[in-house]
Amino acid sequence: MDLLTPGVGLIFWQALIFLVLLFVLSKMAWKPLLNSLKEREETIQGSLDAADKARQQMASMQADSEALLKEAREERDKILRTAQEAANRMNEEARNDAKKSADKIIEDAKSVIQTEKQAALRDIKEQVALFSLEVAEKLMRKNLSDDKAQKELTNRFVDELKLN
């Protein structure tokens, strides 16, 4: 057999054995190996996709929670502000009310005092009048023991009456 002339026998065996090898390896080796490689590739890709998705979800969740936090903070600020205002208002009102009622109490007290004063004055007037009458009576009893004095007094009364 020469270097450059192919031997018929070897061509025959090569073709036969290569075809058998191709058939057997395709069924026995390439199919399971390529399938397992493909499966692994898909698994890895799937895992990467899932991880990516999870990361995105987490990012969106974080954004959500941040937004929620911001909202809550705003809500809190609003509530605090409103509460402050309400407290201020109530304070103001209470003060006003207190002032009003104090005024009223003072007013009432004043009017009571006035009334009491009037009543007291009236009493005093009456007492004074009574004392005066008593004094006058005593005086008169003493001074009107004669006619002259009676006459004089009568005259004076008449003069006074004229004057009035």
| Binding of residue 113 to other proteins (CB under 8 A) | no
| Contact present, 154 and 143 (Cβ < 8 Å) | no
| Binding of residue 33 to other proteins (CB under 8 A) | yes
Helical segments of the chain, H only: 8-25, 31-143, 147-163
Stretch near other proteins under the rule CB under 8 A, chosen from 14-22, 49-57, 105-113, 123-131: 14-22
Stretch near other proteins under the rule CB under 8 A, chosen from 9-17, 94-102, 113-121, 141-149: 9-17
> CA angle, 37 as apex, 32 and 43 as ends, to 5°?
120
| Contact present, 149 and 159 (Cβ < 8 Å) | no
| Contact present, 33 and 26 (Cβ < 8 Å) | no
What's the closest the beta carbon of residue 52 comes to other proteins, in angstroms?
21
Spell out a b/e string for 151-164, using b for 16 or more CB atoms within 10 Å of the CB, else e.
eeeeeeeeeeeeee
Stretch near other proteins under the rule CB under 8 A, chosen from 22-30, 62-70, 96-104, 146-154: 22-30
Question: Could you tell me how many residues of this chain bind other proteins (CB under 8 A)?
Answer: 35
| Binding of residue 15 to other proteins (CB under 8 A) | yes
Encoded amino acid at 103, one letter: D
| Binding of residue 90 to other proteins (CB under 8 A) | no
Give the tokens for residue 82.
């409103």
| Binding of residue 161 to other proteins (CB under 8 A) | no
| Binding of residue 11 to other proteins (CB under 8 A) | yes
Give the tokens for residue 8.
């018929």
| Binding of residue 46 to other proteins (CB under 8 A) | no
Give the nearer residue to other proteins in terms of CB position, either 9 or 161: 9
What's the closest the beta carbon of residue 16 comes to other proteins, in angstroms?
9
Which residues make up the interface to other proteins (CB under 8 A)?
Answer: 1-15, 17-18, 20-22, 24-26, 28-37, 39, 43
